[in-house]
């Protein structure tokens, strides 16, 4: 059972050994990552990065407990790429016993959002997390793509705004 996204990297790197692997801040320091043998070529730090595509903006969202997600915004395509900050599972694709839990957590399509535990973790990031959330919405994406469930293929900014109704009191998407 693999529960975190980086656990798939080693297999992927075996198939595409020439690809460069960029790591979110703090990932390479985790014990499990060190023990895994996964190759992390470069770190996604704030500021200019040699070799990083100019058309791809980075927005780092930090929370408590070492949580850090780097969102990407592809300006020409107006696509915002997230990992965990929005979860929008299609009920029919979930195992039957998990469906009631996903509905209760509010993470089912078409109205998915971040689950409560993740909102709490990000909230621990304080003002910097609020600023990152504001920047995510300000990208004004047409599409929002994420790792968990059906992505928003149009009107991405409006979809995010529906999940973040009060910009002053919420720290992130889906509150």
Integer Cα distance of 131 and 158 in angstroms: 19
Tokens, residue 140: 């004004």
Phi, psi of 143 (to 5 degrees): -125, 145
More confident residue, 66 or 2: 66
Inter-CA distances, 41 with 35, 47, 71, 94, 161, Å: 16, 17, 19, 34, 35
pTM of the full predicted structure?
Answer: 0.85
Question: Could you read off the pLDDT of 67-94 as tens digits, one per residue?
Answer: 999 999 999 999 999 998 999 999 999 9
Asked whether the predicted pLDDT for residue 168 surpasses 90, the reply is no
Angle at Cα 114 formed by Cα 110 and Cα 117, nearest 5°? Answer: 140
Angle of helix 126-138 versus helix 116-123 axis, rounded to 10 = 120
Alpha helix segments (H runs only) across the chain: 9-15, 31-36, 99-105, 116-123, 126-138, 156-162
Q: Is the CA virtual torsion 127, 78, 51, 12 positive or negative?
A: positive
User: For 142, how many CA atoms within 13 A lie in the half-sphere containing its CB?
Assistant: 5
Question: Could you read off the pLDDT of 7-61 as tens digits, one per residue?
Answer: 888 999 999 999 999 999 999 999 999 999 899 999 998 888 998 999 999 999 9
User: For 69, how many CA atoms within 13 A lie in the half-sphere containing its CB?
Assistant: 28
């Amino acid at each position: 059972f693999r529960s975190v996204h980086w656990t798939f990297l080693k297999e992927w790197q075996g198939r595409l050994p020439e690809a460069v692997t960029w790591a979110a801040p703090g990932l390479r320091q985790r014990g499990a990552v060190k023990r895994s043998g996964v190759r992390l070529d470069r770190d996604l730090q704030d500021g200019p990065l040699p070799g990083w595509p100019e058309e791809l903006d980075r927005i780092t969202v930090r929370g408590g407990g070492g949580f850090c997600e780097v969102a990407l915004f592809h300006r020409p395509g107006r696509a915002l790429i997230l990992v965990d900050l929005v979860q929008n599972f299609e009920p029919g694709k979930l195992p039957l016993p998990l469906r009631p839990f996903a509905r209760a957590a509010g993470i089912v399509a078409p109205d998915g959002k971040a689950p409560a535990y993740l909102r709490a973790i990000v909230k621990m990031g304080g003002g910097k997390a609020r600023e990152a959330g504001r920047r995510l919405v300000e990208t004004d994406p047409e599409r929002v793509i994420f790792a968990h469930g059906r992505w928003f293929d149009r009107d991405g900014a409006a979809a995010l705004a529906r999940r973040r109704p009060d910009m002053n009191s919420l720290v992130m998407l889906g509150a």
